[in-house]
Amino acid sequence: MPASRYESWVLALRSWSTDPTRDLDGLPVLDAESFTSTSGARFMSHVNDALTGMMQHWQRALERALKTPASDHELTRELVRLRALLARRLQLARHPSLPEEIRTALWEGTVSDVTRLQAELEQGAMTSTHAATSTRAAQERLVRLLRSSRFTAILEPGYVAPTVVPTAASVGAPSAQRVAAPAALAPQVPAVPGSPRRRVFVTDN
């Protein structure tokens, strides 16, 4: 593909990986047929790096929210903010300038990651024994809170991602019932354009 189109996407992905609120509108159209095996592999490496960086940024924010003592109201507000930030993956997965094969694989990876994340959070809330004052009622209350602000809402039909992500607040779960953040996610990225369709997983490294 023309170097200018490739470079525009690479620069945008690098910026997006550290600031997922970055607007990706206006990027040039990429045609899967224009990729060579070499340029396709390089491009998917950049996509891989961008997803990894974005999710590391997001997970650090989640860990802060779950570890810092706060009220239920404050935790709910922070979970909603984090959900809006997580929804920024949709702008990449649904980007009209990407080939359909890449969009499909990015969407499938987002569904898998977010579904697993939500399940691990709820399971962690039900099995947490962090504090001696932890009770079944407190665990169930926290699970209800996690479900009311569920991250999987971004996958539901009709969900509209906010154009502006609220400013972060230093809030977290109540000190009597902390929940460990899920293990680091390994974002799923699509196969290199033109190669046999397969799933590539990002390693923790």
Please state the domain count of the chain: 1
Any domain includes 169: yes
Q: Is the pLDDT assigned to residue 162 strictly greater than 60? A: yes
Spatial contact of 37 and 195, defined as CB atoms under 8 Å apart:
yes
Type of residue found at 59: Q
Any domain includes 29: no
Q: How far apart are CA 174 and CA 137, in angstroms?
A: 14
DSSP codes joined into one string, 44-71: HHHHHHHHHHHHHHHHHHHHHHHHS---
Any domain includes 21: no
> Of 202, 142, 131, 201, nearest to 172 (Cα)?
142
Any domain includes 72: yes
**Helix, strand, coil share of the chain (percent; to 5):** 55, 0, 40
Q: Report pLDDT for 135.
A: 79
The per-residue pLDDT for range 13-39, each reduced to its tens digit, is: 999 999 999 989 999 999 877 778 788
The per-residue pLDDT for range 89-126, each reduced to its tens digit, is: 999 999 999 999 889 989 999 999 999 999 999 888 88
Any domain includes 23: no
The per-residue pLDDT for range 37-52, each reduced to its tens digit, is: 788 888 889 998 999 9
Residue predicted with more confidence, 63 or 15: 15
> Of 192, 205, 173, nearest to 70 (Cα)?
173
Portion of the chain with pLDDT greater than 90, in percent: 39
Any domain includes 138: yes
Q: Report pLDDT for 130.
A: 53
Any domain includes 65: yes
Any domain includes 78: yes
Q: Report pLDDT for 54.
A: 93
Q: Residue 57 sits in which domain range?
A: 3-15+35-201
What number is the average pLDDT over the span 142-156? 92
